[in-house]
Amino acid sequence: MVAGTPPYYCFTVLTGDFDDDGWPDLYVACDSTPSMLFHNNHDGTFTERAVAAGVAYNEDGREQAGMGTDAADYDGDGWLDIVKTNFSDDTSTLYHNNHDGTFSDVTFSAGLGKNTQFLGWGTLFLDIDNDGWPDLFIANGHVYPEVDGRGLNTPFRERKVLYWNEHNGKFSDISLNAGPGIVATFPVQRRSPTVRAQRIEAQRQPQLGSIVSAIGDELGEFAVGHRPRSRVHPVAHQFPPGSAAQAPPRWPFRR
């Protein structure tokens, strides 16, 4: 049972064992209101504790217009971390799990604070190069066609963003080198380009990809790496400075 919560504008619900107690919790990305984290009480009920956990606001204590969200252990410490996309003129938000029921906003220190022009929707942690480390994909697109032709920094049709995991708690934005499957935008549509990202993994084709689709339109776009390889699942890797594994991948994604 979940009760006693304010009437927030909720967008995406994420399930995960965020405190590693063996019970699934709930995280809810909210628009223009604090996001919510429901701790599982192990008795069929949940307690909302996002403020205490540090995932209700960004590091400035500001409410954000949360849209999409996903979770993964991006730094190999064994604990789930949370990413949340937001409306334009803001960054996406990356919350690092502190292993004690709280999180820290590491958006800027992790390299996700450079992009503020996108209106983020669906987002996924996925290992695009099969190096055992979760990378980060974000689908973008504005809701107002009127933003075009107004001299604004945000167009109606927006490209995707792809961050490569540097294996040290930081990400590199490799979007512009990732091929047309990432940098190409959707064609003009009849309706708002509300987008979602969906993880796929073919049983006999062990390559990871992402589907970006426009809700309400018969339109889709498929981005997938060219180089299928056997998947590996190490908890963490250690690479010596200057090794090839530290360089961002430059192989393209196709549409």
pTM: 0.74
Task: Give residue 116's pLDDT.
Answer: 79
Q: Give the pLDDT confidence of 91-130 residue by residue, as tens digits.
A: 889 999 999 999 999 999 999 988 878 777 889 999 999 9
Q: What is the spatial distance between Cα 206 and Cα 56, in angstroms, rounded to a whole number?
A: 36
- Report residue 24's pLDDT band, with 50, 70 and 90 as the boundaries: very high
Q: Give the pLDDT confidence of 62-80 residue by residue, as tens digits.
A: 877 778 899 999 999 999 9
- Report residue 217's pLDDT band, with 50, 70 and 90 as the boundaries: very low
**Alpha helices by DSSP H, 114-186:** 180-183
Using a pLDDT cut of 70, give the percent of the chain over it: 66
Structure-model confidence comparison of residues 3 and 85, the more confident one: 85
- Residue 25 pLDDT more than 80? yes
Q: What burial letters (b/e) apply to 156-189, b meaning 16+ CB within 10 Å?
A: bbbbbbbbbbbbebbbbbbbebbbebbbbebeeb
